[in-house]
Amino acid sequence: MTRSTPDSAPAFDSRYPRELPGTFERVMPTAITNPHWVCWNSALAEQLNLPIEPDDDALRALSGAGLFAGTDPIAEKYAGHQFGVWNPDLGDGRGLLLGEWSDADGRAWEFHLKGAGKTPFSRFGDGRAVLRSSIRELLASEAMHALGIPTTRALALIGSDEPVQRERMESAAMLTRVTPSHIRFGHFEWFAYSNQPDQVAALVEHCLTHHFPQCRNAAEFFNEVVERTARLIAHWMAYGFCHGVMNTDNMSILGETFDYGPYAFLDATIPDFICNHTDAQGRYAFHRQPEVAFWNLQCLAQALSSQVGSADLKAGLNRYADVYNQHFLTLMGERLGLTQLDERDQELISDWMHLLASERRDYHHSFRALADRDPQQWTELDDDFIDRAAFQRWRSALAERRLREDRNGVPLAQSRNPVSVLRTHLAQSVIEDAKKGSYASLKEYLSALQSPFERREQWHVWSETPPEDYQAAPLSCSS
């Protein structure tokens, strides 16, 4: 890959294998057959100082058939708690870290090729990703980014005619995932539980040097991870995102949304919504996410106990609830056109959530309907509610609260409430088109999701709610 501006520096570095020997296996990608472009994310490419149009070298390297200069592909070793149960046998089983690319500001981005073939950590898997789940990851990560929610990004998606067996036959694809770091909570857990404290220390050092330069030591690093995780989950809860597989191996040390599998955004407001059909107990139900993230942070704390004293670990964990609550309140307040929130506003927000949940109102449209009107016009929405009186009481309270704001809440609320939302049924319709070789609807949906707050006539279809009788195809981890 060449830069969009001439530069004599080598394109890729491979500092992870250089700095962290003993934490990975070197593996070459296995090419997919007859690769072709499904999507090149030119908006992200521009940000990374990559060409706006990809060349044939990029197609080869990002479909596993070639290598960019300077890359040294590896499969990272990690472990984790899956549905609460310790599993030491994890690692990159179907993805490889290719290397780190530096953007125009010198910021390094890891390129991870998802679906690159078998590795020593594949266990019984085939090392492949399918087109369906790769499209879901592409759409979701770009939607999250546009909503301001920390996330890994998707740079490229390449399809193939290689058959892959899942619940039914599908086709293999490769997704290039980009983020400053792919280190998971499970990396620390593996080296702690396999009694390799020096490797835990090396990982902490690597994180401090490259990703947390503002932290002076392991205790500050842990504290920062707690705060980032709390803010991330507040974002998920404010925007109705359900991850579905919050195992510790799917938790990013950077506090980004990571490893998109059977995720879903809420349609109707259902607090105990479960998006992963293998999660029969609802461990990862929407409303449980804040406590699950805390449980995961406790696992990380244990894994760091050789590096951080127990008082500091406890102090870090104690920050979680406050940071979460504060951030959630701020985000929800902004969605309602409010700033400078205080404890008293909590009731206003929870009453709204109760109202939406008791009537199963569409989560996103309900917010946007308020945002698109001045408070005097909210009477127009009275008929949408079965319990009209409850809505009238609530909207009067919000209208009164808005009078105490010194800025106009309408532009603020419109900039915080998406018109175009990632919905399971719309993603599925785009996937059906893609399976037939047509990627036009995927590109259109992606554009709408990349500008979610903008209302455009041609994007109308991307804000539609699912039909009443819509039955989502079951989503599981096995994609």
Alpha-carbon gap, residue 185 to 268, rounded angstroms: 32
Verify binding: residue 126, ligand AMP, rule CB under 6 A. yes
Give the list of residues 6+ apart from residue 312 with CB closer than 8 angstroms, or none. 219, 222, 223
Of 152, 179, 250, 424, which lies in the binding site for ligand AMP, with binding defined by CB under 6 A? 250
Q: Where are the beta strands (DSSP E) in 344-422?
A: none
Pick out residues in 234-253 that bind Mg ion (CB under 5 A).
250
Alpha-carbon gap, residue 251 to 48, rounded angstroms: 24
CA angle at 147 for the pair 39 and 250, rounded to the nearest 5°:
75
Verify binding: residue 92, ligand AMP, rule CB under 6 A. yes
CB of 182 or CB of 364, closer to Mg ion = 182
CA 240 vs CA 91, 358, 364, 441: distances in Å: 29, 16, 8, 24
Alpha-carbon gap, residue 113 to 156, rounded angstroms: 9
Of 259, 267, 334, 345, which lies in the binding site for ligand AMP, with binding defined by CB under 6 A? 259
User: Of 47-55, 92-100, 382-390, 417-425, which segment contacts ligand AMP by CB under 6 A?
Assistant: 92-100
> Kind and range of the H or E element at 102?
strand 95-102
Of 259, 267, 334, 345, which lies in the binding site for Mg ion, with binding defined by CB under 5 A? 259
Token couple for 170: 């599908």
Alpha-carbon gap, residue 280 to 189, rounded angstroms: 26
Q: How many residues bind ligand AMP (CB under 6 A)?
A: 16
Of 35, 64, 91, 255, which lies in the binding site for ligand AMP, with binding defined by CB under 6 A? 91
Pick out residues in 2-41 that bind ligand AMP (CB under 6 A).
none
Of 44, 90, 144, 304, which lies in the binding site for ligand AMP, with binding defined by CB under 6 A? 90
Verify binding: residue 476, ligand AMP, rule CB under 6 A. no
Residue 477 interacting partner from Mg ion, ligand AMP, none (CB closer than 5 to 8 Å by kind): ligand AMP
Q: Smallest distance, Å, CB 261 to Mg ion?
A: 7
Alpha-carbon gap, residue 438 to 444, rounded angstroms: 12
Q: Smallest distance, Å, CB 438 to ligand AMP?
A: 26
| 259 Ramachandran zone, left/alpha/beta (phi>0; psi -120 to 50) | left
CB of 122 or CB of 450, closer to ligand AMP = 122
Of 127, 244, 409, 418, which lies in the binding site for ligand AMP, with binding defined by CB under 6 A? 127
CA 348 vs CA 43, 108, 125, 333, 342: distances in Å: 38, 43, 48, 9, 11
Alpha-carbon gap, residue 428 to 432, rounded angstroms: 6
Token couple for 165: 């067996």
User: Of 28-36, 119-127, 302-310, 372-380, which segment contacts ligand AMP by CB under 6 A?
Assistant: 119-127
Residue 240 interacting partner from ligand AMP, Mg ion, none (CB closer than 5 to 8 Å by kind): none
CB of 77 or CB of 395, closer to Mg ion = 77
Taking residues 261 to 290 in sequence order and writing x for each that binds ligand AMP by CB under 6 A, - otherwise, the string is x-----------------------------
Q: In this structure, what are the phi and psi dihedrals at residue 468, rounded to the nearest 5 degrees?
A: -50, -40
Q: Check if 249 is active-site.
A: yes
Token couple for 292: 């699950």
> Which one is catalytic: 56, 92, 198, 249?
249
What value does the CA radius of gyration of the chain take, rounded to a whole number of Å?
Answer: 23
User: Of 86-94, 195-203, 418-426, 459-467, which segment contacts ligand AMP by CB under 6 A?
Assistant: 86-94
Give the list of residues 6+ apart from residue 280 with CB closer than 8 angstroms, or none. none
User: Of 88-96, 313-321, 373-381, 405-413, which segment contacts ligand AMP by CB under 6 A?
Assistant: 88-96
Of 2, 14, 49, 122, which lies in the binding site for ligand AMP, with binding defined by CB under 6 A? 122
Residue 127 interacting partner from ligand AMP, Mg ion, none (CB closer than 5 to 8 Å by kind): ligand AMP
Q: Say how many residues make up the chain.
A: 479
Q: Which residue has tokens 């902490």?
A: 204
Asked whether the beta carbons of 9 and 70 are under 8 A apart, the reply is no
Pick out residues in 227-246 that bind ligand AMP (CB under 6 A).
245
Residue 308 interacting partner from ligand AMP, Mg ion, none (CB closer than 5 to 8 Å by kind): none
In sequence order, the β-bridge partners of residue 80 are: 87
Residues lying near ligand AMP in the complex (CB under 6 A) are found at: 90-94, 121-122, 125-128, 245, 250, 259, 261, 477
Residues lying near Mg ion in the complex (CB under 5 A) are found at: 250, 259
- Tell me the catalytic residues: 249
